[in-house]
Amino acid sequence: MTSPNATSPILGIDLGGTKVEIACARLNAEVLARKRIPTQAQDGPERGLERILETAQDVLARAEVPAKELCAVGISIPGPWDHDAGAFLDLPNLPGWEGYPIRQKLEEHFSAPIHMDNDANATALAEWKFGAGRGYDHLTYLTMSTGIGGGLILDGRLYRGKNFNAGEVGHQVIMPDGPPCGCGLLGHLEALCSGSGIARRLKEAVKPGSSLMWELAGGDPEKLTAEVLVGAVRKEDPLAQVFFHQTLEYLATGLANLVFILNPEAIVLGTIVARNPDLFLKSLERMVAERVWDVFTADLKILPAQLTDQIGVYAPLAVILDALNLEPEELTK
């Protein structure tokens, strides 16, 4: 095989709890074909892999790339993993998939090397190589979807830690003896500020007639989501504003802890923050500055993620580029 260059084709698999995005692209990020399917996690990993492989075949056919010409396969998975086995740990959004050796299974189907990482690391790499984090050597990435994940770029490279699971910034304790986190422990940032944490807190706080949020959720407590909260804040609903402010304070406390520990030059925030930068960023900047020393904020930028819609392609691609030790600049024509 020739050494990888800008036009070498790769297959990317972005495996999430609800959907899988499969893409064939070139190393220079040119997308040849892509397809998104539901994960149907409840059917188990064997059936899941079958559907991924069928879709990959379809995507490769449309891209007119024979599988044997792939220079690498990248896969991003939703949470911590067993690096030695290339297997899932017990993930809340992939119930029953624990222990399934996905890397080995992919190796049986592809002659190209398989490169794997969790979604937070993969997205941190992608934002750093292609998005909001370009040019920063010390970058902390946080995503705030169902859970809160993190990826750490330190001294110009992804820091993975001893067991390849560093960056679990959502599991720092913000409120001792606070509400249970998805992981079972108490008072984590994720239990307060993730999509599911916000929804749980809203369910307790919002009663019929107390807030516009009740109407926006159609009177269904199950529909009180972070998006409903943001919608009501935009309409200046008082309860939503108080609740949102409290949520920002939790988040700022978590970010301040990270600033003291990691002294980053950029914090990149994904998902709901990236979609609503006007609501989040100014307040967060102020609240973080109130919680750390001046030396830490002199060079600190808090930025919205840029690749939101394209992340399904960029995340696995960035994992591959990192494994091959290639920079995007070397690959653009």
Cβ nearer to its own copies, comparing 18 with 163: 163
Residue 160: Cβ within 10 Å count: 16
Q: Which of 2, 3, 68, 162 binds its own copies (CB under 8 A)?
A: 162
Q: Is 242 in the site for its own copies (CB under 8 A)?
A: no
Q: Is 2 in the site for its own copies (CB under 8 A)?
A: no
Q: Is 165 in the site for its own copies (CB under 8 A)?
A: yes
Cβ nearer to its own copies, comparing 183 with 326: 183
Interacting residues with its own copies between 65 and 94 (CB under 8 A): 80, 82, 89
Q: Which of 35, 109, 134, 171 binds its own copies (CB under 8 A)?
A: 171
Q: Which of 28, 246, 257, 283 binds its own copies (CB under 8 A)?
A: 257
φ and ψ at 2, to 5 degrees? -75, 160
Of 21, 305, 271, residue with least CA distance to 146:
271
Q: Which of 15, 300, 303, 307 binds its own copies (CB under 8 A)?
A: 300
Q: Is 163 in the site for its own copies (CB under 8 A)?
A: yes
Site residue total, its own copies (CB under 8 A): 47
Q: Is 280 in the site for its own copies (CB under 8 A)?
A: no
Total number of residues shown for the chain: 333
Q: Is 293 in the site for its own copies (CB under 8 A)?
A: yes
Q: Which of 38, 95, 156, 161 binds its own copies (CB under 8 A)?
A: 161
Q: Is residue 178 within 8 Å of 187, Cβ to Cβ?
A: yes
Q: Is 323 in the site for its own copies (CB under 8 A)?
A: no
Q: Buried b vs exposed e over 42-77: b needs ≥16 C-beta within 10 Å? A: eeebeebbebbbebbeebbeebebebeebbbbbbbb
Q: Is 177 in the site for its own copies (CB under 8 A)?
A: no
Q: Which of 117, 119, 237, 265 binds its own copies (CB under 8 A)?
A: 265
Q: Is 173 in the site for its own copies (CB under 8 A)?
A: yes
* 324-333 long-range Cβ contacts below 8 angstroms, 24+ apart: 324/4, 324/27, 324/72, 326/4, 326/27, 327/129, 328/28, 328/29, 328/129, 328/130, 331/5, 331/6, 331/27, 331/28, 331/29, 332/6, 332/28, 333/6, 333/28
What is d(CA 119, CA 122) in angstroms, rounded to the nearest whole number?
5
Annotate 166-219 with DSSP letters as a single string.
Answer: ---GGGSBSSTT-SBPTTS-BSBHHHHHSHHHHHHHHHHH--TTS-HHHHHTTT
x/- site string to its own copies, residues 131 to 160, per CB under 8 A?
------xx-----------x-x-xx-x-xx
Would you tell me which residues interact with its own copies (CB under 8 A)?
80, 82, 89, 137-138, 150, 152, 154-155, 157, 159-169, 171-176, 183, 185, 253, 256-258, 260-265, 291-293, 295-296, 298-300
